[in-house]
Structure 1
Amino acid sequence: MQSQNSDPADQAGPYDRPGAQQPAEPGVPDNENAAPDQNAAAGAEDASDAGEPADASAQLALQLAERTADLQRLQAEYVNYKKRVDRDRDLSRRAGAERILADLMGVLDNIRSAREHEQMTDGFKLVAGEIEKVASRHGLEAFGEKGDPFDPRIHEALMQTQASGITEPTAAEVLQVGYKVGDRVLRPARVAVAQPAEDAPDQEA
Structure 2
Amino acid sequence: MRSPPRGGAPPPHVPSGATPDDAEPKAAPAEGAAPAGDASAQLAGLTAQLDQVRTALSERTADLQRLQAEYQNYRRRVERDRITVREIAIANLLTELLPVLDDIGRAREHGELVGGFKSVAESLETVAAKMGLQQFGKEGEPFDPTIHEALMHSYAPDVTETTCVAILQPGYRIGERTIRPARVAVAEPQPGATSAKAEGAAGAPGRPARPPPPRPGTRSRTTALRRADVVAIEVVDIDWKEGRRG
> 1:43: how far off?
5.0
Matched, 1:132 2:94: no
Q: Which residue of 2 aligns with 1:196?
A: 189
Distance 2:70 2:93 in 1: 35
Displacement after TM superposition at 1:199 (Å): 3.6
Distance 2:85 2:175 in 1: 16
- Counterpart-to-counterpart distance in 1, 2:91 and 2:143: 25
Query: Could you tell me the TM-score, scaled by structure 2's length?
Result: 0.64
1:68-96 Cα deviation digits (max 9, x unpaired): 10111011001100000000000011111
Per the alignment, residue 69 of structure 2 pairs with 76
Deviation at 1:165?
1.6
Query: How well do the aligned residues superpose, as a CA RMSD in angstroms?
Result: 2.6
Partner amino acid, structure 2, of 1:133 = T
Which residue number in structure 1 is paired with residue 173 of structure 2?
180
In the TM superposition, 1:19-58 aligns within 5 A as 42=35, 44-58=37-51
Q: Distance in 1 between matches of 2:159 and 2:67?
A: 62
3-state SS, counterpart of residue 93 of structure 1: helix
1:45 is displaced (CA, Å) by 2.8
Once superposed, which parts of structure 1, at least 4 consecutive aligned residues long, lie more than 6 Å away? Answer: none
Do structure 1's residue 123 and structure 2's residue 116 form an aligned pair?
Answer: yes
Deviations 1:84-141 (A, max 9, x none): 0000000011111111110111110000000001111211000000000010000101
Q: How far apart are 1:168 and its partner, in Å?
A: 0.7
Aligned to 2:7: none
Instruction: Specify the alignment match of 2:84 in structure 1.
Output: 91
Query: CA shift at 1:47, angstroms?
Result: 2.5
Gaps of 5+ in 1: 1-13, 16-22, 24-28, 32-41
1:61 aligns with 2:51: no
Structure 1: distance between partners of 2:114 and 2:42 = 100
In structure 2, C-alpha distance between the alignment counterparts of 1:125 and 1:30, rounded to whole Å: 115
Q: How many residues align?
A: 173
Q: Residue 74 of structure 2 aligns to a residue in which SS?
A: helix
Give the share of equivalent positions with the same residue, in percent: 46
